[in-house]
């Protein structure tokens, strides 16, 4: 069919027309081969703009449309729908970007800008003449979701998904779900008990018929693509039969071996057979093989004698299970900055220099001191100084703001003042950042309670002979150097990416930001989606967040997964690569180069030939460029089409 092309040159208000002579470009477009109609429009994306295109398609029998406007990232989909609603295949559309690439870039050179716009329109028309109709495909999806990480983000996402009727596999690497939130004492700014609001959700997870909880397990392999992932999960041996263990704790009572409890950040002790904290879910005991006397030395087994249900099984082996899921939500959280990296602040050297998370455990009723904050010598501190932004907003360590340190300090200062109104509490800060509902009010409340805020942070902390900590801090408000002597220093350490992030990044084929957090598809408009379809992020693995933000983010990720899977099928973009098996030599250059692992070798007439899995292909074109036999073509960007474009651009 002979091409009949309509060209629409957009003013975009003054965004384009303020620089480019739109009328001149339109008149020029009308002279190009096969162009039947050329118009300029104030706002092509508006309803009247789209209606004009539809009318022209009908009236002039257009079978190709060229739009010279903003980036295709903005409105390509809009105009594809316009074409479709006029009965034209939506892929018979070509966009010339004369806003980002012309008017915004060359606003000081109007004449040259107009010339460049003309050439881009010419190239677009040259390509449009060769466009072919393409059809979207549909693929069935698994109505189930893998949630990686059982902190509050994973818990919230799992519950939302399960309530929507999807099957959920919640994988948590430690023996219990709960994450960092389970370690906290109170939450800001309401001073709600953290466990009191979290544990009901944990129990819901355990009881929900749609959730399979795989605690003490790790995802080791993920294959497949949106709608059809297959994940391999390693279930680590607890050496305790989960079905038999009733969580009575007789084993731990009998166990003679005490080791530092990770859950108490090493401040408290646990046994070699343990649950990390009393409200653990699942409430199943786990033997830590590195500390168990029997597993190390072959003698003991006191737990076996103590267990009334015969649940202990030293022969248990790690197991692999495979699950098929349609989407994956990554919610692996964060880790806390190691304050030893800044030795001048004395953490690890002076016993009464502690971190914020340690103070959480000390002030928590289930913590090592039964909820009483005590110094190393076992006394209640009469004076405490908080040091903000330790390791955060620091180009030597973490460049970013941890986002929760200011509020965490205010909350902890509140707890100290509440316990002992006479305690002297100082907060040495860079800025106090208290953006959030009710947060600024909480900050004022702390000032009213008599907490002293010093605008400035110390650079070095010393311990005096009497065990007190002494430091200088320059108070910017008064211009005075203040010397403080306190019983306890709390370093408010920042958040950084979890250890598993890089492993998961490779496994899931997703991107990381320069800071090492997972990178979303769009910072404003797709804050939970990975650039790989079917994968979503929830919580602090994406960027530091407080609990309220984490829960909102997790619910958003769940909603996106539900949206994706609710139709039971996914659309597959037709703009994919395809291999001509007649030409392909099976050299495998493309399989290695494909960043989406979308190319596999398949049997074709008795020989091994490359084949593109359409659902996985993102249309990046890397394989097309790499193929030494020229056997791969990109639909919508064929060699012929691109050469025509280049010829037009270079004056051919």
Partner 1 sequence: MLTLNETDRLLEELRESIATLTPSVCYSCARCSSGCVMVEAGCIPHSIIQLFRLGLLKETEKGLWPCCQCLKCDARCPQDARPAMLILALRNLLVARGHAPPKGYIVMLENIVRHATIQPPQEVMNKDFDFVSRATLGLPELGKPTNMDAFRRNLRKIASNLLEAEEK
Region of 103-111, 164-172, 351-359, 479-487 interacting with partner 1 (CB under 8 A): 479-487
Choose, by CB under 8 A, the member of 221, 258, 447, 640 that binds partner 1.
447
Which CB sits closer to partner 1, 452 or 470?
452
466 contributes a contact to partner 1 by CB under 8 A: no
Lookup: tokens for 261: 């409890």
Residues 72 and 83: their CA atoms lie apart, in Å, by 15
Q: Which of residues 422-441 bind partner 1 (CB under 8 A)?
A: 422, 424, 432
Q: Which of residues 361-420 bind partner 1 (CB under 8 A)?
A: 383
| Residues in a beta bridge with 323 | 231
Which CB sits closer to partner 1, 315 or 448?
448
Region of 18-26, 33-41, 478-486, 597-605 interacting with partner 1 (CB under 8 A): 478-486
What is the number of helices (H) and of strands (E) in the chain?
A: 18, 34
Cα–Cα separations (whole angstroms), residue 528 to 177, 283, 457: 22, 31, 35
Residues 403 and 637: their CA atoms lie apart, in Å, by 44
Residue 102 backbone phi and psi in degrees, to 5: -125, -75
- Four-CA torsion 157, 163, 164, 167, nearest 10 degrees: 80
Q: What is the largest CA-CA distance in the chain?
A: 93
Least distance in angstroms from the C-beta of 188 to partner 1: 17
Region of 63-71, 400-408, 453-461, 560-568 interacting with partner 1 (CB under 8 A): 453-461
Which CB sits closer to partner 1, 378 or 479?
479
Choose, by CB under 8 A, the member of 59, 296, 322, 444 that binds partner 1.
444
The sign of the dihedral angle between the CA atoms of 503, 155, 439, 370 is: negative
Which CB sits closer to partner 1, 267 or 449?
449
Choose, by CB under 8 A, the member of 324, 335, 380, 452 that binds partner 1.
452
Least distance in angstroms from the C-beta of 469 to partner 1: 16
Least distance in angstroms from the C-beta of 220 to partner 1: 50
482-521 footprint of partner 1 as x/- string (CB under 8 A): x---------------------------------------
**DSSP string spanning 393-408?**
S-TTS--S--SSHHHH
Choose, by CB under 8 A, the member of 81, 269, 322, 480 that binds partner 1.
480
Least distance in angstroms from the C-beta of 200 to partner 1: 37
Lookup: tokens for 507: 């496994």
Give how many residues touch partner 1 by CB under 8 A. Answer: 19
Choose, by CB under 8 A, the member of 159, 226, 327, 454 that binds partner 1.
454
Least distance in angstroms from the C-beta of 187 to partner 1: 23
Choose, by CB under 8 A, the member of 448, 466, 582, 605 that binds partner 1.
448
Region of 402-410, 473-481, 514-522, 575-583 interacting with partner 1 (CB under 8 A): 473-481
Which CB sits closer to partner 1, 388 or 398?
388
Choose, by CB under 8 A, the member of 33, 200, 278, 450 that binds partner 1.
450
Q: Are strands 286-287 and 319-325 parallel, antiparallel or unpaired?
A: unpaired
Q: Are strands 228-235 and 217-225 parallel, antiparallel or unpaired?
A: antiparallel
Residues 336 and 347: their CA atoms lie apart, in Å, by 14
Region of 28-36, 277-285, 403-411, 472-480 interacting with partner 1 (CB under 8 A): 472-480
478 contributes a contact to partner 1 by CB under 8 A: yes
Closest alpha carbon to 415 in 449, 370, 440: 449
Which CB sits closer to partner 1, 424 or 500?
424
Burial pattern 139-157, b for ≥16 Cβ within 10 A else e, equals eebbbbbbbbbbbbbbbbb
Lookup: tokens for 303: 């737990």
Q: Which residue has the tokens 């984490």?
A: 550
**DSSP string spanning 487-515?**
SEEEEEE-EEE-TTHHHHHHHHT--B-TT
Residue 65 neighbours by CB distance under 10 Å: 26
Contacts with partner 1, residue ranges (CB under 8 A): 383, 422, 424, 432, 443-444, 447-448, 450, 452-455, 475, 477-480, 482
């Amino acid at each position: 069919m002979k091409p009949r092309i309509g060209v629409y040159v957009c003013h975009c208000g003054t965004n384009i027309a303020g620089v480019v002579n739109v009328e001149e470009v339109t008149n020029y477009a009308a002279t190009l081969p096969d162009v039947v109609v050329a118009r300029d429009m104030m706002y092509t994306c508006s309803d009247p703009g789209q209606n004009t295109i539809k009318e022209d398609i009908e009236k002039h029998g257009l079978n190709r449309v060229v739009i010279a406007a903003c980036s295709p990232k903005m409105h390509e989909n809009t105009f594809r729908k316009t074409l479709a609603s006029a009965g034209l295949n939506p892929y018979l559309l070509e966009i010339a970007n004369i806003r980002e690439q012309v008017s915004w870039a060359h606003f000081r050179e109007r004449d040259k800008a107009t010339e460049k716009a003309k050439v881009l329109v010419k190239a677009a028309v040259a390509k449009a003449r060769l466009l072919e109709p393409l059809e979207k495909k549909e693929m069935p999806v698994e109505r189930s979701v893998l949630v990686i990480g059982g902190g509050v983000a994973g818990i919230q996402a799992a519950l939302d998904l399960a309530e929507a009727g999807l099957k959920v596999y919640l994988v948590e690497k430690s023996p219990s779900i709960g994450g960092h939130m389970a370690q906290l004492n109170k939450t800001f700014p309401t001073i709600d008990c953290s466990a009191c609001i979290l544990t009901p959700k944990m129990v819901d997870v355990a009881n929900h018929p749609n959730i399979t909880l795989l605690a003490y397990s790790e995802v080791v392999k993920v294959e497949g693509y949106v709608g059809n992932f297959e994940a391999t999960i390693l279930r680590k041996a607890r050496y305790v039969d989960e079905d038999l263990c009733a969580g009575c704790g007789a084993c731990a009572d009998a166990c003679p071996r005490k080791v530092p409890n990770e859950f108490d950040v090493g401040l408290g002790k646990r046994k070699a057979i343990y649950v990390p904290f009393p409200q653990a879910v699942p409430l199943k005991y786990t033997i830590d093989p590195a500390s168990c006397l029997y597993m190390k030395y072959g003698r003991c087994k006191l737990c076996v004698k103590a267990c009334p249900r015969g649940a202990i099984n030293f022969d248990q082996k790690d197991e692999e299970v495979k699950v098929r899921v349609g989407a994956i939500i990554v919610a692996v959280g964060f880790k806390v900055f190691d304050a030893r990296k800044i030795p001048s602040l004395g953490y690890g050297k002076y016993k009464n220099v502690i971190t914020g998370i340690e103070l959480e455990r000390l002030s928590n009723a289930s913590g090592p001191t039964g909820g009483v904050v005590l110094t190393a010598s076992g006394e209640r501190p009469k004076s405490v100084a908080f040091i903000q932004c330790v390791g955060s907003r620091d180009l030597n360590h973490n460049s970013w703001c941890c986002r929760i340190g200011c509020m965490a300090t205010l909350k902890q200062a509140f707890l100290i003042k509440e316990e002992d109104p006479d305690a002297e509490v100082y907060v040495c800060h860079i800025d106090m950042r208290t953006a959030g509902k009710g947060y600024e009010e909480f900050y004022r409340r702390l000032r009213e309670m008599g907490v002293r805020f010093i605008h400035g942070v110390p650079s070095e902390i010393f311990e005096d002979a009497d065990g007190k900590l002494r430091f200088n801090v320059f108070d910017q408000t008064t211009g005075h150097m203040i010397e403080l002597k306190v019983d306890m220093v709390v370093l408010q350490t920042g958040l950084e990416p979890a250890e598993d992030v890089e492993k998961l990044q490779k496994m899931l084929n997703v991107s990381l930001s320069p800071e090492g957090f997972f990178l979303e598809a769009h910072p404003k408009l797709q804050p939970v989606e990975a650039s790989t379809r079917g994968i979503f992020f929830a919580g602090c693995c994406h960027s530091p967040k407080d609990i309220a933000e984490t829960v909102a983010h997790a619910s958003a990720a769940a909603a996106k997964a539900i949206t994706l899977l609710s139709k039971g099928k996914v659309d597959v973009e037709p703009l994919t690569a395809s291999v001509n098996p007649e030409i392909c030599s099976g050299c495998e250059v493309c399989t290695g180069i494909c960043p989406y692992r979308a190319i596999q070798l398949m049997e074709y007439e008795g020989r091994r030939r490359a084949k593109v899995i359409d659902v996985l292909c993102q249309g990046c074109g890397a394989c097309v460029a790499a193929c030494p036999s020229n056997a791969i073509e990109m639909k919508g960007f064929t060699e012929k089409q691109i050469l025509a474009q280049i010829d037009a651009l270079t004056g051919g």
